[in-house]
Structure 1
């Protein structure tokens, strides 16, 4: 295999075998390299000469003897990647500017395009930042001035590309800067794109259970594909390879959460040797929306993406909005483009993927890197850490505090409880607490933060009352924190699992005319196209009725409350019923209905108690959401929790019904997904199910 799992060398800050992280000793490096030399002879036989930089009239080439990367000068486009005898892994049928590039989408009052202005970020200046025997770092910049107002995004942009000695790949990171007194604008999307050769790369992988041979981009053309409800979804009616006939191709079927988006890419089995092209993201600190935010990965092209900021699965709530007097600077990345190959037999799909995962672990453990030359990227010794323990106290579950096992704990910009999922401009730093609730968040950039937490299995969000200030080298211990989740009384009944997704509810089989074979009999069956139409198939005339104590939410609670298409091609809302019995009702007290939503798209959820004909709902969310999760095959978008007071006088002893009406219905993609619903009785001294008849 042609890649070293242990990267030796750290440019100007280290020699050939220096590794700065304490977790990996020099001896361990040697052992791993020795194992590779025995297992993968090609790795031991590589050219390990020093780096070479070739500056030519229109481009520049970084070469470390393993691969050669060509970039246009001064535009900063990756025009070629030469590796293992293949002159260019990037799509040679494309123009030079359409192979490997950074881009963004921005908006301002003078822009007339509905979705903003697309900018491929062609730069105007080229500089060699580092050129040593161990590291090359190149800078491609575009500086903004008032003469460019309305023409390009008002940002200073610095795109960096780094190659290290003996490294099986290269790095890229970017620095964006908006100065005070510069124009206001909105930023909706920014990313790195690599478009690979369609004659070479046919197999895509993004996790152990999400990988497959993919259709060709030709299959999406008008001659071979039929556009469906939106441009990204195409039914393959006459594909080049007959095996794909009848499948739906849609890039949104391959989205993933930030916390799990570590490595994805493509494998070529037609090259000799077989090889892989992988995009590795060692940290999500620079990504928008926190660990649960979903982004695109790889898709038909073959294309691989490193998305830093987008509004997917969130909508306008995650647009980066800058005022005219708002200074801002942020570093996106670095990400690592890893190449590997197999020369001594075995299953290339399995072995190249496993090698990519091993390299990913090396990159994650090496974060934050110590080689980037920009002063804006801070190494570990200029960062700080926070540790502590989080316990959970819910007296209706247990009299004692319980450890927050598996809690996600993170630091983000100061804000309201749960504001981290909307945070875009700064950095976020997250970790998972151990089984006893202990946590340690490391590598935190200096600044002032709130400490947030989300506990799987519990509703709501936690925020530490005091702000946390991080300085270089600081190590703060916040002690033992106690989260008291929203609770007024004992649980009378509950539907679902409070995990911020609708995954546990009933997801129907897809229409056999619109399938993706990857997701047949798959845990992510919700990623199939057109499931929103299956609700009307299963409930053609009457809406869903769920009876507590009789129904099973895994089989009887549809995963999304969507619109229903009528015979005259319009759409109508729906009203779901939750039926339950109460033996005793405390008329003088208040009950509490907790409704946690996993996502919402242009909807108004209205709640009525025992009277569907009431002219005014007991509770209404008002218009909420622009997540577009339903169309994009997700199982959650932005989390929303509503706590509804229910006076005892509105309940009766015996049969009761809660009516959930979703209004606003003009398209098939409007709807909501529930995460969890719970009815609590009035406060009592003990956590029992007083008054509930199952």
Structure 2
């Protein structure tokens, strides 16, 4: 098995022992029995003692009276986590290197991806008293490791606090000047929980359920579908799940929404939660999508990944550049509410704890000087307005706009930025914003406003110093606009969610997403296009059609044989009463996603060669196959010559010309036709 296959298959079954041997009858239904008496739980949680550490031969054990954390020595792998009568919440059937760990996927330039579970080579107690223990597991790089280990110094830290029902982990990565070039495709923290205990997964108020078992993904119990991570459950251990699709990408979330997710055991009643209190160390901005929890039972804290973005978001280190970054801390929280028979108290308590962690950011306890505390950071405030004279003669408030600080670059570069820190907030209803606890450094300020196309960038470099409070005053964003709107399709919000997402093929249903706002997360919706448009492609008539019903959420290829596909051409029909022969019209096309695609646009001539406009080959975000409703944002502003238009009826032909697979395609965000400026 290749390294990449191992990474993608991290929810694969553990074959050491079957669920039948463990006893499927122990899977709780609606009202499982409570495994620990309330009196025992109360006495246990009330016994808040000091934190202690024991250094053993091959292991380090940290105990605060609520939980006991066991780490391999000097590897720094999480091998044991004892809590509330459960000797180990991690999968005891796995070897110690496959329970809880930091990992990376890296490569030499143009080389294959290498999956590496990070093993420390040196252990050190950084801080120890009755209130806190912080330990470090480091792995230093030297030239003898070239081609074998990622050229980084890595310092993994674990922190246990007194009276805290959980532990923290963070890491410092450093690429020293002059070290070899490399690409860093992914890094994360992964936890594999006991499959005989943790059946119920929760990642949002409306996204939680009893999940399939890892054994259900074996060939004996499932059928692999067109995309490797997706399987159809043909003979699952829990018969209620028969006929459903399991795919870890169905449980992805945007960065801004990944605050808490995890799993629940009902016997004994234990919740395991991964809490991420800040997005500052993640790449790609607030709407970048990442994996969360999925069948395993597996829980992830994602920091770097190319998911829903492709190679554009893979950091490439060249010419021996120096780089250093702190990832985390993230918090692993365990809970056991008095009512251990209902998932809701577990979830509500985990959400409350996540709110506490967010309010406590940046933490005061990390010992590393590389993690800046609140007093070392600065803040940036201001107000954002939008100026579009074709909508309002006056500047309007940028309500609910995303405003952020990221490394200097071009407007919109933040969504592909992958090496620095990012700090984002939302404006209030009058456009005010406050970005607090910004690490020191040089930044550009970026923004985008739902309801308006394009990206804002303040044309100055902002230097944040310790304690600085920078007030930028009123800022004005002028979105792309040349003339009045003749017609528009969709909502400019960088998502295709407002368009028509069909019901799934009845053979490929995930019942969680039936009658769910996120209906686009169902498997195989790309195949439904040909079912709905079997004889001809989509035709949309301005003023008659309704984009919520008549505009398919993705322009995909059409299957014509077992392994052959053809390009599709959509049409937009509209009328122009009077053509301004001296003016230039403008077509604005905003894409929410592109995967190895080429959008060709022609006006009133479906065979024009070359096309009037082409994006050429763009995109590798794979959002169609991974049920993401958006990937990277693209905006194309196309000059439309008056001679391309006709008095009266007109047709725009939109061709997605690349057709080697079912997953090539685009998602539209918004399309607008503008008249000449003088109209």
Q: Which bracket does the TM-score occupy, shorter chain normalised?
A: over 0.9
TM superposition shift of 1:299: 0.1
Identify which of 254, 258, 272 aligns with 1:257: 254
- Structure 1 Cα separation of the partners of residues 250 and 345 of structure 2: 25
8 Å CA contact 1:188, 1:310 repeated in 2: yes
Identify which of 619, 624, 630 aligns with 1:625: 619
Identify which of 321, 333, 338 aligns with 1:326: 321
1:303-322 Cα deviation digits (max 9, x unpaired): 00000000000111011100
Counterpart for residue 57 of structure 2? 57
1:162-188 Cα deviation digits (max 9, x unpaired): 000001100000100000110000000
Asked if 1:549 is matched to 2:546, the reply is no
CA gap 1:367/1:181 in 2 versus in 1, 3 angstroms? same
Counterpart for residue 30 of structure 2? none
Identify which of 210, 214, 235 aligns with 1:213: 210
8 Å CA contact 2:41, 2:84 repeated in 1: no
Asked if 1:398 is matched to 2:395, the reply is no
Q: Report the TM-score when normalising by structure 2.
A: 0.93
CA gap 1:80/1:422 in 2 versus in 1, 3 angstroms? same
Identify which of 168, 172, 176 aligns with 1:175: 172
Counterpart for residue 77 of structure 2? 77
Counterpart for residue 22 of structure 2? none
- Structure 1 Cα separation of the partners of residues 505 and 88 of structure 2: 41
TM superposition shift of 1:568: 5.4
Counterpart for residue 283 of structure 1? 278
- Structure 2 Cα separation of the partners of residues 567 and 247 of structure 1: 26
TM superposition shift of 1:110: 8.4
Segments of 5+ residues of structure 1 without an aligned counterpart are 1-37, 685-689
TM superposition shift of 1:472: 0.4
Counterpart for residue 583 of structure 2? 589
1:248-273 Cα deviation digits (max 9, x unpaired): 000000000001110000011121xx
- Structure 1 Cα separation of the partners of residues 592 and 371 of structure 2: 35
TM superposition shift of 1:40: 12
- Structure 2 Cα separation of the partners of residues 235 and 222 of structure 1: 10
TM superposition shift of 1:541: 2.2
- Structure 1 Cα separation of the partners of residues 311 and 642 of structure 2: 39
Counterpart for residue 610 of structure 1? 604
Counterpart for residue 31 of structure 1? none
8 Å CA contact 1:342, 1:348 repeated in 2: no
- Structure 1 Cα separation of the partners of residues 46 and 319 of structure 2: 53
1:3-402 matches, cutoff 5 A: 42=42, 45-109=45-109, 111=111, 113=112, 116-271=113-268, 274-343=269-338, 345=339, 348-402=342-396
8 Å CA contact 2:109, 2:183 repeated in 1: no
8 Å CA contact 1:607, 1:618 repeated in 2: yes
- Structure 2 Cα separation of the partners of residues 45 and 205 of structure 1: 24
8 Å CA contact 2:623, 2:629 repeated in 1: yes
8 Å CA contact 2:90, 2:191 repeated in 1: yes
- Structure 1 Cα separation of the partners of residues 376 and 265 of structure 2: 41
CA gap 1:276/1:394 in 2 versus in 1, 3 angstroms? same
Counterpart for residue 668 of structure 2? 674
TM superposition shift of 1:647: 1.2
For residue 85 of structure 1, give the secondary structure of its aligned residue in structure 2. Answer: coil
TM superposition shift of 1:348: 2.8
- Structure 1 Cα separation of the partners of residues 45 and 128 of structure 2: 25
Structure 1 residue ranges (4+ consecutive) displaced by more than 4 angstroms after TM superposition: 38-41
Counterpart for residue 474 of structure 2? 480
1:530-555 Cα deviation digits (max 9, x unpaired): 00000111111210000000000000
TM superposition shift of 1:324: 3.4
- Structure 1 Cα separation of the partners of residues 252 and 133 of structure 2: 33
For residue 594 of structure 1, give the secondary structure of its aligned residue in structure 2. Answer: strand
For residue 344 of structure 2, give the secondary structure of its aligned residue in structure 1. Answer: helix
Counterpart for residue 13 of structure 2? none
- Structure 2 Cα separation of the partners of residues 330 and 235 of structure 1: 40
8 Å CA contact 2:71, 2:78 repeated in 1: yes
For residue 158 of structure 2, give the secondary structure of its aligned residue in structure 1. Answer: strand
For residue 333 of structure 1, give the secondary structure of its aligned residue in structure 2. Answer: strand
Q: Report the TM-score when normalising by structure 1.
A: 0.91
8 Å CA contact 1:410, 1:451 repeated in 2: yes
For residue 170 of structure 1, give the secondary structure of its aligned residue in structure 2. Answer: strand
Segments of 5+ residues of structure 2 without an aligned counterpart are 1-37
